[in-house]
Amino acid sequence: MYSVGILSPSILLVVIGTLFSSIVSTNVYGAIDSFQNKVDIVTDSKHKNDCDEHDAGANNAYCSNVDETATDQISMIGKNNKFNCDINTKQVNDCDDTKNGDNNSLCLNDLQNVINSLTVTGDNTPTDVHISTGQSNDCDDKTNNDITLICKNIHQNIETP
């Protein structure tokens, strides 16, 4: 009969040894990959909520920027293939309150970028995807009255290269 104190470390060493062996073999395979395929996905997202309060009114504005980017499977069959994807997003909400009224606005920028599944075949095949999106809301309260505005931008980009 084995005691739990001896059996547990033995099982742990076998599991760690298996994981280490798997990681080392994967890295070695990656180092000798002769296909030289390359995938670059670059996202540049800028988000700004500008909700200043001046004077006696209250700024109760709700401002939100949502930016969701997703990619599906990218497969490369062949040698020296390149996939470049540049996604640039700029979202701005401007919900200032500059007088005595209250700003009770809802400002929402909602963006979804999706790159569908892609299979690049052949040799020396370049594939480029560029997405550039700008969303802006101006829900300022420049009056002495209360305002309740709903400012929404909802946009979806679905790219199938």
Instruction: Kindly give, in sequence order, each residue whose CB lies less than 8 Å from that of residue 32, ignoring residues fewer than 6 positions away.
Output: none
Beta bridge partners of 108: 64, 152
Beta bridge partners of 76: 120
pTM (predicted TM-score)? 0.68
The helix or strand, by DSSP H or E, that contains position 74, with its residue range, turns out to be strand 74-77
Provide the residue type at 143 as one letter: T
For 13, 63, 78, 101, 125, the CA distances from 82, given in Å and listed in that order, are: 41, 39, 11, 56, 6
Q: 25: pLDDT confidence band, cut at 50, 70 and 90? A: very low
Residues 64-87: tens digit of each pLDDT: 999 998 889 988 889 999 999 999
